[in-house]
Amino acid sequence: MNELETKIRAEAERLLSEGLVDVVIAFRQEDAPLHPQPAFFTQVEELESLTYNGMCANNLANYLTRYPQETRIGMVVRGCENRSVNALIVEKQHTRENLVLIGIPCEGILDWRRIVALTGENVLSVEEKDDSVIVHTRENTFELLRIELLHPSCQRCLHPNPLSADILLGDPKPEGDPHLMRLRIEALENLSLEERNAWFRHEAERCIRCYACREACPMCYCTECFVDHTEPRWTESGVTPAGMQAWHIIRAFHQTGRCTSCGACERACPMDIQMTYLTDKLNLDMADTYQFEVGMDAETQPPFATLTLDDKNRFIAQGK
Amino acid sequence: MSAPPIKIALFQCRWCLYSPEDQAWVDNDLPENIHLVKVPCTGRIDPLFILNAVQGGADGVMISGCLPEKCHFKEGNLAARRQLAEFGSFLDYIGYEQARVRFVWLDLQDRGRIQQELTAFETTLETLGPAQALATRASAPMGGADE
Amino acid sequence: MNYRLPKKVLIQTLNAWAEQAEVFAPQKREGYAQFLPWEAGNELLLDEPHNTRFPPKAFFLPQSETLLTYNRKLSQLEMPALQISQRIIFGIRPCDARAVALLDTVFATADNPDPYWQTRREQTILVGLGCSEPATTCFCTSVGSGPFDHAGLDALLTDLGEAYLVETFTVRGEALFANLASANANDAEQAGTIQQQASALLEPAFTTDGLKEHLDQIFDSYLWSEFAQSCLGCGICTFLCPTCFCFDIVDEAQRDERVRNWDTCMFRVYSLEASGHNPRPTRAERTRQRFMHKFSYWLEHADQFGCTGCGRCVRYCPVGLDIRAMIRKAAATPSEAVHVN
């Protein structure tokens, strides 16, 4: 049990025992050593099983839209999760007054795939100790460097510190370097048109339309997703190229100005598709064109929701 | 051996052609290689419409609408400008040239301009050639897509 | 009949097969094991403790398949006969082969066979590779199978180190190996030991005595709502599952084709009816459905569990739900636990 876990439990206990929230959303270590589970605590007695560590890979803001706005929710949030919460509040999907955000400055999420690539699949436990990660498998013990196991989105993270937490547990971490995300996108932009298309088709073609990316994403909360719309039917539902490509293109585009680059989609994908290359590009465009970064407060509307006549000089008559 | 005809999808806002002659031409005399989709406002155009046209083999997509301050519904074309402009840029990122998505914002004095724009667009597209990149509305192979 | 396949002739054996049939074998692409067409010069991936990521049920029930094409203008319909060349799937794990045999009870019934399934099945030979060191996520022995189960296989290989022991079970399996030397008594004994040790590595995940009856009794339990809390409702468990078979048939009107696609009971729209009524309106009912189908309803239909313990759902669930732990929890949930609406 680490120090941060103790502090989170204490805060959760306070919130529940004083009746300040109806539920605390955090994580719990269940049976999968590599995947702690999102957990929903309503009783103080349950808090014994609350866990928090680098293997906690889901964006908890995803669960906010499952609750009515009257529900008072205490939630553990890292930097990206806090921004997702803000984005949801801007979209009126929850009310700030009914949230108690337990902020954790984040050191980055460990990518279970990187661990398994180094240790093999039979992992029994994962422990973090300063800069190391100790992995016990059925056959062996490995000591790995934390920095080498970070999920790519976390390596490029801009804002690891929750911006608007009600309580901050842990020391603030340095802000991220915006160049890292830009470099990755520029590397793709600098490829030829054919190469970019080839990369896009390559990443899309192993998609199995499981929609784990959608379900893991806090901003995908539509009661009817465009792929399920039937009159008319815009997107093929199977694994034909048209269907898979349309899915990737439109889901990413629906995230424009809404995605916090948390990477939960990539971590959920069973086929290891690195779809953040689509959303990160759109996020950069929003930053460059509209000086907009989602989730930095709970008021600013995203660019596609703010229409202004000033745009008439922004776009020239032909082309863009 | 002639090149296959360039296929253009034209999304036309029904208010933007101020001249009845222009509208009559679009309604009745549009060349066969141009497919018309009339919309009540460019703000109605969902990126899905454009993607559907592109996947169906459109070599170019033209969106014709009113000037920003002249939208019949006040702000519809403002929404279109932001979203569809970004979508055109996004399509370029994944391999469909931005030049294949063209916006034409028309005003009272732009009579006849729609024909000129379409002709000019067709010339540009002929230089670019037919669009292969995203024209994927191909069959699931008889026998399935197994792995 | 048992044969001995020295490892140094494995590649040439596959190459020889590839001259008569399409051969598929586990290979690494995109960082994980997949069944890919075998070509001379490719590299096999046979030593992973677990099976391929994507299930081989796709060889018989493709994720997307065109059933017929039509021409509305001419009111014509075309349903060409399926042409499948002879195929050999090499290195399929017993859990996956058993799953194919289970799906035969759905698609290859005597009174109503699915011709698409049948044609593929008839054209395909399954050569299995037993699991000498099952992964920690495997639980085949808990559901009536095992790392060297024969079900669904034409032949099964046991890795002896320098060679494989080959057990053949069908005429087609026999024909593939008939030119090899027979296995000797040592080989058989060594294989027996390896197979026993493999089974011993697998701890029982849950007891199945009375499991179906108990699940039926706790149908209305609050437990399912608890499970549903973290469940994302994605399709990973069902699509990667080698025994899940639900499908949806759609007309792709823009291509004039009728297509069959995999579907999943995890999606809200799966059970959504045209009237708007949904008999499984929340994630609780849908999460419950997976358990009930695999561990209760399958028994009513085929007298076997609809799960072969392959472990994919355990490895790839994005929120760490482990079906084994959930069964244990269900077994421990008293049948008086009240369903709270």
Q: Determine the distance in angstroms separating the CA of B56 from the nearest CA of chain C, rounded to an integer.
A: 9
Q: Tell me which chain C residues have a C-beta less than 8 angstroms from the C-beta of B143.
A: 62, 65, 82-84
C-beta of residue C280 within 8 angstroms of C-beta of residue C291? no
CA nearest to C27 within chain B: B147
Minimum-distance CB partner of C136 among A38, A113, A122: A122
Burial of C208 (0-12, 13-18, 19+ CB in 10 A): middle
Minimum-distance CB partner of C63 among A38, A208, A268: A208
pLDDT score at B147: 34
Of C45, C27, C47, C46, whose CA–CA distance to C37 is shortest? C27
pLDDT score at A313: 60
SS3 label, residue C252 = strand
Mutate to test the interface with B, among A208, A249, A273, A289 (most CBs of B within 10 A): A249
Q: Tell me which chain B residues have a C-beta less than 8 angstroms from the C-beta of A226.
A: 48
Q: Which CATH number fits domain B8-128: 2.30.30, 1.10.3470, 1.20.120, 3.40.50?
A: 3.40.50
pLDDT score at C339: 55
Kindly state whether residues C222 and C187 are assigned to the same domain.
Answer: no
- Rounded to an integer, the average pLDDT of C86-115 is 97
Provide ipTM, 2 decimals. 0.95
Q: Determine the distance in angstroms separating the CA of A55 from the nearest CA of chain C, rounded to an integer.
A: 11
pLDDT score at C216: 95
Kindly state whether residues C190 and C45 are assigned to the same domain.
Answer: yes
Kindly state whether residues C54 and C99 are assigned to the same domain.
Answer: yes
- Residue carrying structure tokens 């696609």: C261
- Rounded to an integer, the average pLDDT of C140-165 is 97
Q: Per the CB < 8 Å rule, is A240 touching B98? A: no
Kindly state whether residues C121 and C223 are assigned to the same domain.
Answer: no
Sheet strands (E) in C1-85: 2-6, 22-29, 32-37, 64-71, 76-78
Kindly state whether residues C97 and C243 are assigned to the same domain.
Answer: no
Mutate to test the interface with A, among B136, B137, B142 (most CBs of A within 10 A): B136
What are the residue boundaries of the structural domains of chain B, listed by start? 8-128
C-beta of residue C306 within 8 angstroms of C-beta of residue C242? no
Q: Tell me which chain C residues have a C-beta less than 8 angstroms from the C-beta of A270.
A: 53, 236, 239-240, 316
**Reported confidence tier of residue C238, pLDDT bands at 50, 70, 90:** very high
What range defines the domain where residue C284 resides?
A: 211-332
Query: Which residues does A84 contact at the CB level (< 8 Å), separation at least 6?
Result: A59, A61, A62, A218, A219, A260, A262, A295
Q: Per the CB < 8 Å rule, is A309 touching B133? A: no
Q: Per the CB < 8 Å rule, is C236 touching A228? A: no
Please provide the distance, in angstroms rounded to a whole number, between the alpha carbons at the two ends of chain A: 55
C-beta of residue A57 within 8 angstroms of C-beta of residue A151? yes
pLDDT score at A309: 81
Minimum-distance CB partner of C236 among A58, A210, A237: A210
**Reported confidence tier of residue C80, pLDDT bands at 50, 70, 90:** confident
pLDDT score at B79: 85
pLDDT score at B68: 84
* Other Cβ atoms closer than 10 A to A298: 18
Measured CA to CA in angstroms, residue A174 lies from A45, A54, A57, A161, A162 at distances of: 36, 17, 21, 8, 12
Q: Beginning with the edge strand found earlier in the chain, give each strand of the sheet holding C22-29 in spatial order.
A: C2-6, C163-168, C155-159, C124-129, C87-92, C22-29, C32-37
Kindly state whether residues C233 and C253 are assigned to the same domain.
Answer: yes
pLDDT score at C81: 84
What are the tokens at A165?
A: 């937490």
Of the three residues C181, C201, C221, the one that is the final residue of a domain is C201
- Residue carrying structure tokens 């069964």: C327
Q: Determine the distance in angstroms separating the CA of C177 from the nearest CA of chain A, rounded to an integer.
A: 32
Kindly state whether residues C232 and C181 are assigned to the same domain.
Answer: no
Kindly state whether residues C252 and C286 are assigned to the same domain.
Answer: yes
Least confident range of B75-89, B125-139, C88-102, C300-314: B125-139
pLDDT score at B139: 46
Between chain A and chain B, how many beta carbons pairs sit less than 8 Å apart?
A: 115
Kindly state whether residues C191 and C238 are assigned to the same domain.
Answer: no
Taking the C-alpha atoms of residue C37 and residue C39, their distance in angstroms, rounded to an integer, is: 6
The DSSP H or E segment spanning A37 is: strand A37-41
Taking the C-alpha atoms of residue B113 and residue B107, their distance in angstroms, rounded to an integer, is: 10
- Contacting subunits of B (3+ beta carbon pairs below 8 A): A, C
Residue C132 lies in a domain: yes
pLDDT score at C9: 96
Residue C339 lies in a domain: no
Kindly state whether residues C145 and C289 are assigned to the same domain.
Answer: no
Taking the C-alpha atoms of residue B71 and residue A18, their distance in angstroms, rounded to an integer, is: 55
Kindly state whether residues C230 and C308 are assigned to the same domain.
Answer: yes
Query: Which residues does A129 contact at the CB level (< 8 Å), separation at least 6?
Result: none
Mutate to test the interface with B, among C63, C70, C123 (most CBs of B within 10 A): C63
B76-93 vs A276-290: helix crossing angle, rounded to 10 = 130
C-beta of residue A40 within 8 angstroms of C-beta of residue A23? yes
Q: Per the CB < 8 Å rule, is B146 touching C82? A: no
The DSSP H or E segment spanning C187 is: helix C185-201
Minimum-distance CB partner of B78 among A197, A256, A308: A308
What are the tokens at C190?
A: 């060594």
Least confident range of A121-135, B65-79, C158-172, C202-216: B65-79
Residue B141 has pLDDT above 60, yes or no: no
- Rounded to an integer, the average pLDDT of C221-230 is 95
Minimum-distance CB partner of B145 among C63, C82, C84: C63
Residue B3 at interface with chain A, using a CB cutoff of 8 Å:
no
Minimum-distance CB partner of B145 among A239, A285, A318: A239
| Nearest-10 Cα torsion for A233, A236, A237, A238 | 160
Domain count, chain C: 2
pLDDT score at C253: 87
CA nearest to C117 within chain B: B143
Residue C341 lies in a domain: no
Least confident range of A72-76, B65-69, C199-203: B65-69
Kindly state whether residues C163 and C248 are assigned to the same domain.
Answer: no
Q: Per the CB < 8 Å rule, is B136 touching A245? A: yes
Residue A143 at interface with chain B, using a CB cutoff of 8 Å:
no
pLDDT score at B116: 93
Minimum-distance CB partner of A238 among C49, C261, C316: C261
pLDDT score at C221: 94
CA nearest to C252 within chain B: B139
Q: Per the CB < 8 Å rule, is A36 touching C320? A: yes
pLDDT score at B140: 43
Q: Determine the distance in angstroms separating the CA of C208 from the nearest CA of chain A, rounded to an integer.
A: 19
pLDDT (tens digit, 0 to 9) for every residue of chain A, 320 residues total? Answer: 588 999 999 999 999 999 999 999 999 999 899 999 999 999 999 999 999 999 999 999 999 999 999 999 999 999 999 999 999 999 999 999 999 999 999 999 999 999 999 999 899 999 999 999 999 999 999 999 999 999 999 999 999 999 999 999 999 999 999 999 999 999 999 999 999 999 999 999 999 999 999 999 999 999 999 999 988 888 999 999 999 999 999 999 999 999 999 999 999 999 999 999 999 999 999 999 999 999 999 999 999 998 888 776 665 544 43
**Reported confidence tier of residue B146, pLDDT bands at 50, 70, 90:** very low
